Amino acid sequence: MALSRRRSYSSSPAALVVAVLIVFLAAAAALVGADDPYRYFTWTVTYGPISPLGTTQQGILINGQFPGPRIDCVTNDNLIVNVINNLDEPFLITWNGIKQRKNSWQDGVAGTNCPIPPGGNYTYKFQSKDQIGTFTYFPSLAMHRAAGGFGAFNVYQRPAIPVPYPLPAGDFTLLVGDWYKAGHKQLRQTLDAGGALPLPDGLLINGMQSATFVGDLGKTYLFRVSNVGLKTSINVGIQNHTLKLAEVEGTHPVQNAYDALDVHAGQSVAFLVVLDQPPHDYAVVVSTRFSPAANLTTTATLHYTGATSRAPGPLPAGPPAGSDWSMNQARSFRWNLTASAARPNPQGSFHYGAINTSRTLVLASSSPVIAGRRRCAVNGVSFVTPDTPLKLADNFNIANVIAWDSVPVRPDGGGAARAGTPVVRLNLHEFVEIVFQNTENELQSWHLDGYDFWPVGYGNGQWTESQRQTYNLVDAQSRHTVQVYPNGWSAILVSLDNQGMWNLRSAIWDRQYLGQQLYLRVWTAQQSFSNEYSIPTNAILCGRAVGLPH
C-alpha cells in the first residue's frame, strides 16, 4: 500500500484522474486491510433490568448483556460493528484507546459522528491498527455510560511478534468502576440543573460484586484492569500476591513489581500474577482512591483450582491517602525501550526526548458558574456540543459551527467563563507539549483520542516552565489517559502523526458532560488518502449536514 503520495500531483489531467483513482482504491483497500481478517459484530442496544447492587435498576445492555460483549481480536483485524440503537435516545459508542489511524470518522464522539437515532443503526468499520493491549469501549453521549453499554476490548499480538513476557496460562479481564443506583437520566437531570453527582453507591467488577477468577497453582495469569467508572479512582491489589506490570494502554512498561496499583477513570493496566501461594481463595481487593467522602471497597476472588478455604490473615490495607504515594507510583512507570511494539521495532526507537516541541498548550480545568449553573471548563471555555459534528462541519465547510482556536492556549486568569465550541488547529507532524493544570482539590483524568502520548511529568501546585527540568525525557510510559493530582499538574508530549478531529476530554464523566473538553484538528493542506480517509459512505448526516452528498 506504499503508493507514493507524489503520484497524485502528476501534471497531466488524465494521469491525475488515474492517480487519484489509484490512491482512492489503495485507501479503500487499506481501510478494509485486504490481507487482515475481518470480525463482524451486530450489537443491539436496549434497556433492561440489572441488579448489580442488589436492587433492580434500568441498565443499558448490548445483546442483552451488562457489561457489553468483550471484543477479543488480533492486531490489525478489521472490525465491522453494526450498532442498532433500540433506546429512546440518540446513542454512540467510542473505542477508548483504539487510535483510529487516519480515521476519526469512526471515533464515535459527538464532535466526529452524528448520533445513531432511536431505532436507527450505524456500522463502524475500523482496524485495530498497530496496537496490542487492554482497551475498552463505552457510550459517549448523555451520561449513558452510567447505565452500562461499556465493555472490554482486548487486542492480542500477532504470532510473529512476541510480547516481552512468557505467554501466561490465561488472562482475566476486570472492568472496574464506581456505580450509582440513580439512573443515567436522573444523574443527567442533576447535572443539567447545576448540581453535583451524588456519591457512588458501590464499586463493581465486571458488573458484579462477586467475581471469581480461577487459576492453577504455579501458573502465571495476566490480569487486565480497566477503570470504566464515571469518576472515582481505584486501587487494585491481590492478597499475598505480587503484581508485575506488563502493559499500560497498549505499550510495554518495565516489568516492576507492585503490591497494588492505582487506576484512574478511563485508564487500563495489565499485570502478571504468579499463583505461588498455598492453594486457597485470595481476595482481589478494589478500593476507591481520592474520594474523601466515599471509601468503598469490593472484593473478587482469586480461586486456586481445588482450594476449599479462604486464605488466612487480613486483607491488604490500601495505600496511604494523599497524592504522594500515587504520584511516586506514576513516576515509576517506565517504558521498556527495548521491548517491541505491535510492529517488530523497539518501542524506544523514536527518541521523543530529543525532539523540539513546536508549541505548548497549558490547559487549566475549572468548574465555573455560567448562566447560573455549574459547568466545567478548559481555560474558561465550557464546551457545548454543536448541532452538527465538528468533523462534518469541517468536511463540508459549513460555516458558524466551529469556533477555530477560540480557547486560549494559556489560562487567561481572569476573564469571565463562557460557553463555546473550540477547536484548536494543529499541523500534522507537530510535536506538542500539553500541560494540564488542576486548579481544584479533586483528582482529574484527561484523555486524548487518536493518540497515545508520553506523560513526562507530574507535580503539585502551579506548573512553570522551570518544571521542564524535571521531565522524564528518556523512558516515560506512553499511554492515552493521564491523571492530574489535586491542585497539581501533569505534562505530556505528543507526536501529532494522526490526521483528524480528535477529542481531548476529561475522563471524569460528569466533568466531560459539563464541558471539560475540546477538539484538536490535526491537519495538513496536502489532502491525501495516505493521511486521512474520506467520509464513510454510510456516515449518518445530521444538523446542517443533512442531505449533503457523502
Ligand X SMILES: *[C@@H]1O[C@H](CO)[C@@H](O)[C@H](O)[C@H]1NC(C)=O
3-class secondary structure, 106: helix
Q: The dihedral of CA 187, 188, 194, 197: what is its sign?
A: positive
Q: Output the smallest distance, CB 231 to ligand X, in A.
A: 16
3-class secondary structure, 335: strand
Using an 8 Å Cβ cutoff, are 297 and 209 in contact? no
Using an 8 Å Cβ cutoff, are 542 and 115 in contact? yes
Q: Output the smallest distance, CB 295 to ligand X, in A.
A: 4
Q: Output the smallest distance, CB 47 to ligand X, in A.
A: 20
CA distances from 76 to 32, 33, 143, 479 (A): 10, 8, 31, 19
In single-letter form, the type of residue at position 22 comes to I
Measured between alpha carbons, how far is 234 from 307 in angstroms, rounded to an integer? 28
Q: Output the smallest distance, CB 423 to ligand X, in A.
A: 25
Q: Output the smallest distance, CB 56 to ligand X, in A.
A: 27
Q: Output the smallest distance, CB 279 to ligand X, in A.
A: 12
3-class secondary structure, 509: helix
Measured between alpha carbons, how far is 205 from 226 in angstroms, rounded to an integer? 10
Number of residues assigned to the chain: 550
Q: Pick the closer one to ligand X by CB: 32 or 254.
A: 254
Q: Pick the closer one to ligand X by CB: 134 or 512.
A: 134
Q: Pick the closer one to ligand X by CB: 188 or 241.
A: 241
Q: Pick the closer one to ligand X by CB: 488 or 536.
A: 536
Strand segments (E) across 107-259: 121-127, 133-139, 151-156, 170-179, 202-205, 212-215, 220-227, 233-238, 243-247, 257-258
Q: Pick the closer one to ligand X by CB: 339 or 482.
A: 339
- The residue whose grid cell reads 485470595 is 282
Q: Output the smallest distance, CB 334 to ligand X, in A.
A: 8
Measured between alpha carbons, how far is 538 from 535 in angstroms, rounded to an integer? 8
Residue nearest ligand X (C-beta atom) = 164
Beta strands 431-438 and 359-366 are parallel
Using an 8 Å Cβ cutoff, are 147 and 183 in contact? yes
Q: Output the smallest distance, CB 226 to ligand X, in A.
A: 22
Q: Pick the closer one to ligand X by CB: 305 or 338.
A: 338
Q: Output the smallest distance, CB 274 to ligand X, in A.
A: 14
Q: Output the smallest distance, CB 280 to ligand X, in A.
A: 10
Structural Rg of the chain based on CA atoms: 23
Q: Pick the closer one to ligand X by CB: 208 or 294.
A: 294
Q: Pick the closer one to ligand X by CB: 56 or 338.
A: 338
Interface residues with ligand X (CB under 6 A)?
A: 82, 121-123, 164, 239-240, 254-255, 292-293, 295, 313-314, 316, 321, 336, 338-339, 356, 538, 540
Measured between alpha carbons, how far is 377 from 367 in angstroms, rounded to an integer? 6
Contacts of 322 (CB under 8 A, 6+ apart): none
Using an 8 Å Cβ cutoff, are 386 and 543 in contact? yes
Q: Pick the closer one to ligand X by CB: 173 or 239.
A: 239
Q: Pick the closer one to ligand X by CB: 175 or 476.
A: 476
Q: Output the smallest distance, CB 332 to ligand X, in A.
A: 12
Q: Pick the closer one to ligand X by CB: 74 or 80.
A: 80
CA distances from 382 to 238, 412, 449 (A): 40, 14, 19
Measured between alpha carbons, how far is 149 from 140 in angstroms, rounded to an integer? 10
Q: Pick the closer one to ligand X by CB: 5 or 89.
A: 89
3-class secondary structure, 446: strand
Contacts for 319-322: CB closer than 8 Å, 24+ residues apart: 319/235, 319/260, 319/262, 319/289, 321/289, 321/292
Q: Output the smallest distance, CB 252 to ligand X, in A.
A: 7
User: Could you please report the per-residue DSSP string of 341-369?
Assistant: -SSSSBGGGS-GGGSPPSEEEEEEEE--E
